Every structure is written in structure tokens, then in C-alpha cells.
Amino acid sequence: MATDNESSPLSGGGQTRREFITTCSALTAGMFVFPTFISSSSASPLTGLAGSILNQLPKTKIRVVGAHPDPTKPNWPNIDYDFAGDIRQFMNNLKSQCPHVDFSLVKVSEGSKEKAKEILSRDREVDGYLVYLSGCLWGDLTETIGASGKPTVLVDHLYAGSGEFLTSYSRLKREGHKVVGVSSSDFKDVVKGVECLDAVSKLRNSTMLVVGRDADQQVQAIYGTKAKTVPFSEINAAYENISDNEASNIAGGWIYNAAQIMEPTRKEINRSAKMYLTMKSLMERNNAQAITVNCLGGIYNNRMVSAYPCMGFMQLDNEGLVGACEADQRSTMTKMLMNYLVHQPGFISDPVIDTSKNQIIYAHCTGPSKMYGPKGPSNPYHIRSHAEDKKGASIRSLMPLNKTITTMQFDHHKKQVIFHQGRTVENVGVERACRTKLAAEVKGDMRKLMNYWDTWGWHRVTYYGDHKDQIYNIADLLGFEVIEEA
């Protein structure tokens, strides 16, 4: 089996990037110009467009409630404690570590329900609350804010606000309110809570385009995200309006960065680049942050222009947007949610299980080549045909090995999220099935992992890193149940 070594042979031969460029240059001299500024770690020429789409999202507004008792009276942590200084330092940390969020502070030394209602009454434009218990107030303020209906993070100042934190948080959770609790000496855990509030806010202001299938309006009911149907006729018309020269320039960048080019001709890669620009233009026109396409249904049934979007999905993901295949709206929303939460792209796959190796193999004909986000490192990739029909152009992404991954699926109909974890071990080179095949050793019970596919479907979405805590946190804010499938 091939590993992640980019020089590993694949059946059917192939060309290195240099050989392919030399061949193309000889056959099509003057047809295109390779963008000299592109390298394996650089962004797309259209990154600015991705930035403009994302920058149109309003900045999340979080009201910080700095709660503390009268410092002149005996209390935890001790009499005459400098609560004002502690809250000031807390705010400085928030603003320095979360500059993308708009924080406003109200300091409270009265724990009444009336005081909480006063705060809530003037905060109609606030996206969420962060209640920082610098000390214990022992009233109804914390629970009234937590039960307001707006997403709320409760933060304990250890050895100071712990009593009220524990009693208020447990009661709010038991009553089913959307709250996250942070009781940690590591400020990074506070940042994780803020990122959850930010993600929920961004979802409410985002749009997902669904090409060739009816958009699921339950998406908006649960996430607040607008789901918009785009007929095949619209994407076909948009494709015809894309400049061939611009598409050729994008294709040149993909070829320049590829470790190997196998089956596709330059013409097929150009068509994929034109489809990428088509999807990007639709997203810009609709101020959409995500697009999912009924690609197989459209191409196999001759309803969509025969230009495979696989490479375009890779490019969108690499830029910080969301591209998703098969009009899979659950996976698309999973990718959008996690994109806002951990700032990394997800890899949608049809998994295969190998019990003899305790492995799950995530397989698809597309996948990001910047699994740690737009500013992260790039991994090698091969340009190949789409596996099932051996047509068009797709991607074999050779993803990082010996890394922890978290694989999941959010379901807005079930109001559940399912996930498992593992460690990457191989980029599988078997010719059967999809081009990108990432194998991971499963953390947990392999037999349990085989129990959920009939009710959850085949797709899962994989992320690099240990995101278990954030899955539980965001599930709390969305009111989702968490299922650990392994």
C-alpha cells in the first residue's frame, strides 16, 4: 500500500508535476500562465474574495457580567479581595485572546432577579452572555441570565465563585437551558467557551447554498442558518459566464502545487477550475459561506454541466469557506459549524472499517489539503480522475499521519451529534473506491463503532485535533444530545 510519500507509485502510472507542466507547455504554449506567486503553502489567488464573504458576517457581541460580592465582608476568596482588579485582568485576557469578538462589561454586586432582568432588558442586540463569577453573589442573577434563552457561558473564578458556579450551572443544565460551564485554571478553556458563543452567532448570520436538491428549511429552524436552493439551470448558466483564461490560471496553480498528476488531462483540470469559480461566484452573489452540490446526481443524469467540483471543494475548504459534495446538508452544516468553532476544514467521507487492524478508513474523491486551516501548513496531493466513473478531475489528499483526529456528524433533525476519535496511520493507496483514503486506528470499541450507520447514514466529517470538549460545549448551546459511537 502507498503511504503519504508523494513519490509512492500508483497503479496506472502518472506524471510528476514537472513532467505534466513540461508536456502541457509543449502542447499548449501560450494558452496559460502559471502564477509565479503560488507555492504549496500559499493561498488561492481569490483568497481576498473568501475573506470578503467571511468579513461580511457581523462581529459577535458578548455581554460579560462581572459578578462579585462586597469585598469588605468575609467571603471567598477572602475579605478585602481585589475583585475589580481581577475582573479587569479577566477582560484584558478576553480582548487579547479573542480580538474577533466585541465584548462589553457590566459589573454586578447585587445577585437579585430584578438586577438580572434590568441587564437583559437593555441587551436586545447582544448575541450571548458570559457570566464571570469573580466571587459568589448567592442570588438569582446567574440563573436568571442563564435561563434567558440566549446562549450563556458561566465561568468560575476558582476558590472564589465556585459555590455559586456549581449550584447555578447544575440547576440550569438540569432544567434544559443552553449554557456552557467553564471551571478551569487554564484560560484557554474560557476561550473555548467564547468560541462556542461566536460559532452560534455566526451560524445565525450565515447562508448555505444547496445545488440540485431542495434546501432543508429545518436548518434555519435549528441553527438560524439560511438554506437556499439553487437549481441546476442556475449553476449551468453561471458556469458559461466564467472566463476560460481565469479558470486556466487557477488550474495552473493546482498543477504547480500537485505532487503528481495521474489520469486527468489539462482540459479536465481547467473544467474543474471553471466549476470552482462558478461555485465561488454563486457564493459571492448570495453572500453564502457554504455550498453543497448534488454533483453525482447532476452529472450522471446529464442535468449539470459535466465539470467535477471535487477540486473546487478542496480550494473552498482551504480558503476558510465550505464546499461539500452530494448535497449532504447535515455534513455541510457540520463543516460550517466546526469551521467557525475550530477554524479548520472538515473531510467528508464514506468510511470503511478494517477490524483486523482496528482501523477506520475515511474515503472520498475530495478533501482539503490544508487540514489545519487557511493559515496552517499544506500537505501534498495528487490530481486524479473521479474514482467511480474514472472521469473528470479529483483529489487524492495525502493527509498528516500520527495525529489525533475527531470524526463527527451533527444532525439537526435528531438534535444529536455523534462522534469518535482515532490516530491517523496511513494514506491508503488501494485503487478500489475513492481517491483520498485516510486510515486511522480507532480509539475505543471497534464493534460499538459498527452499530450506528443505519440510523446515521454513511457520511462522517473528520477534523485534525482532539475536539471532544468543544463537541460537548457546542452541543450544550444547541440543545443537542452527544453520542460517543466508539
Distances (CA, A) of 441 to 334, 358, 397: 23, 6, 19
**Whole-number pLDDT of residue 296:** 87
The pLDDT value recorded for residue 1 is 37
Span 66-107, pLDDT tens digits: 999 999 999 999 999 999 999 999 999 999 999 999 999 999
CATH level 3 topology of 60-203: Rossmann fold (3.40.50)
pLDDT on residue 177: 96
Closest Cα partner for 160 from 194, 185, 129? 185
Q: Convert 47-82 to b/e letters by CB count within 10 Å (16 or more is b).
A: eebbeebbeebeebbbbbbbbbbebeeebbeeeebe
Side-chain half-sphere exposure of 227, counting CA atoms within 13 A: 25
Answer positive or negative: Cα dihedral of 340, 344, 349, 354. negative
What is the pLDDT at residue 33? 34
What span, in angstroms and rounded, lies between the C-alpha atoms of 382 and 386? 12
Domain boundaries, the chain: 15-55+205-484, 60-203
- Tens-place pLDDT, residues 135-172: 999 999 999 999 999 999 999 999 999 999 999 999 99
**Spatial CA neighbour of 406 closest among 449, 462, 451:** 462
Extract the residue ranges of the chain whose pLDDT is less than 50.
1-13, 17-18, 21-47
Phi, psi of 19 (to 5 degrees): -65, -40
Q: How many CB atoms lie within 10 A of CB 407?
A: 25
Res 2: pLDDT: 38
Matching residue, cell 442535468: 303
Q: What's the confidence (pLDDT) of residue 16?
A: 54
**What's this model's pTM, rounded to 2 decimal places?**
0.89
Q: What is the pLDDT of residue 56?
A: 82
Count CA atoms within 13 Å of residue 219 on its CB side: 27
Please name which of 456, 444, 426 lies closest in space to residue 484, comparing C-alpha atoms: 444
Q: For residue 446, which phi and psi values (nearest 5 degrees)?
A: -60, -35
pLDDT given at position 125: 87
CA angle 261/262/267 to nearest 5° reads 75
